[in-house]
Structure 1
């Protein structure tokens, strides 16, 4: 199942069209996309039993071609966790030692954006990081590794846009604010449930900048896999429905290149994960301050 935010409402996307979850269920399920995340199992059962009519004006193919009506599939999570240095090749390119335990920072929810949103660049040193994003359906504390995937609603594509100057300026460096400027957290294009994926533990991530492939990796190369991350985080924090986990980025980021390469106004960033879809985000000049 693919759960999306279409014009601010929760919809299920199919090849034939979309199903407005609240309208088609006569209010049994909420219209707010975030609120539907915790009900994905019930929504799947309802779809199989009732076979609601689809709206053919917005098909899967149409939304893949033009995602401007899609917002982030989760709009206001209580927590966004992000994992640093979770691919060995990314650790190698940065020259940083790999962590013995997951290296956790945050991105703030006000930075969330949709799969076709413009990204205003506040400086000339903004960088890209394509990532697999885990969306939680069910929370809790002290979740065992062997039960962790039972708490997952599905996956989506994410970009951890990073303003490198402020990120690396301090001692220790400041990650969270530097990664939380407006639209620095595009996600989408929808939440794909794990049953739609041939092998959820081995997905290909690709990032292109103006058609040039700058990142390519596979999630099988994660140092700390998804069950380990969920268990580790839940040992400290109470996880909640619709929380997001950015699982790390493979090699190919801009600041680790010689010379460094950064995003520029007018450039287009395309982020793809096998089976999940893609983000297409255009970079723009900074928004005027109020």
Structure 2
């Protein structure tokens, strides 16, 4: 933390998120500052964030000494215009957010599962930073389970052991020597939500649901963040769906919305791959079979603990196919937010550690394009969510 901050001097309305993790740009709109910056809320929004920004903190004159070009983003994309978004006629820019600082926050971790260069059984680990070297948690704490689900069942004691391993400076592995697996490979349940983005409802001209629409995938659909998606012979309409996935860390039934996030350990990136012919026309139009072919649930790259995410309901979410941007939205568009979803689902089933909740997809899926576009063998699908990371899967 930065400690106490001086009162902001008067001047033009410009961002002053002057923490070591922030880029002082006139068009700055960094959601990672919410709840972290020590500056008080500004009485008005700043020129960079726009009049509706929920995370503007303070106004002050721009400091030329601080003007700098942002470093490369760990997600692989740099500053770019936000389509259709301006302030005072000047295009707003989505700036990359340095993420290494998150490892300094108490409790913030990026948990992974991996296999070493020699193969063998899956092991637990931690990323030192997004895309960085790994800590071999199974070597640092041999008493811990090797299954992420079993690890999460240990609760706070397991997380504390992981923090010790992260802080020890030992058992480091270069990123290039390991193969990342899905952060949770054996959940009891994979629970999915349909029609949960306002703009996704608009693109298919359907009414916004009044209650969450729930379906599921089988755990056998899960693959790792860089594994291949197998195009089934039974379908000719395989589609993409980037989604925010929440992972349950604490058992509960009939959970109150006010305490729902206490039951979440963290978040990861998911692709809810879907065979539209089976989902929309075959098998009585039940969604299950079209959603749960083997390899239809890529996950990863890490389980990012909630301590490391400033505002899960204000993250950029994107999907590209062969380098062409197909989906580009924000989790602010969610109709039912996580507390509501968790409370709703727990009315029907008991949530247990390791359960995965896919929260829905934004607009831009292939089936609603004109003409429709579907995945074919050889295509490469990249899904990314701000602060969480990127997964990339080839269709074979």
Q: TM-score, normalised by structure 1?
A: 0.90
Contact 2:196 2:335 in 1 (8 A): yes
What's 1:114 paired with? 224
What's 1:287 paired with? none
Match of residue 30, structure 1, among 145, 165, 169: 145
- CA-CA distance at 1:236 after TM superposition: 1.1
Aligned ranges for residues 14-29 of structure 1 at < 5 Å?
14-15=128-129, 17-27=133-143, 29=144
What's 1:88 paired with? 198
What's 1:3 paired with? 111
What's 1:41 paired with? 156
Structure 1 unmatched runs, 5+: 285-290
Cα distance change of structure 1 residues 211 and 40 upon mapping to structure 2, 3 Å threshold: farther
Structure 2 unmatched runs, 5+: 1-108, 116-121
CA RMSD of aligned residues (A): 1.8
Q: Tell me the secondary structure at the aligned position of residue 155 of structure 1.
A: strand
What's 2:184 paired with? 74
Q: Tell me the secondary structure at the aligned position of residue 149 of structure 2.
A: helix
Cα distance change of structure 1 residues 205 and 221 upon mapping to structure 2, 3 Å threshold: same
Contact 2:148 2:354 in 1 (8 A): no
Match of residue 210, structure 2, among 85, 100, 109: 100
- CA-CA distance at 1:53 after TM superposition: 3.8
Pick 1 or 2: higher relative contact order, CA cutoff 8 A, min separation 6.
Answer: 1
Contact 2:136 2:172 in 1 (8 A): no
Q: TM-score, normalised by structure 2?
A: 0.67
CA distance in 2, matches of 1:118, 1:213: 20
Match of residue 138, structure 1, among 229, 233, 250: 250
- CA-CA distance at 1:43 after TM superposition: 3.7
Contact 1:24 1:53 in 2 (8 A): no
- CA-CA distance at 1:227 after TM superposition: 0.5
Are positions 1:164 and 2:276 aligned together? yes
- CA-CA distance at 1:232 after TM superposition: 0.4
- CA-CA distance at 1:198 after TM superposition: 2.3
CA distance in 2, matches of 1:139, 1:9: 24
- CA-CA distance at 1:172 after TM superposition: 5.2
- Give structure 1 regions of 4+ aligned residues with deviation exceeding 4 angstroms: 47-50
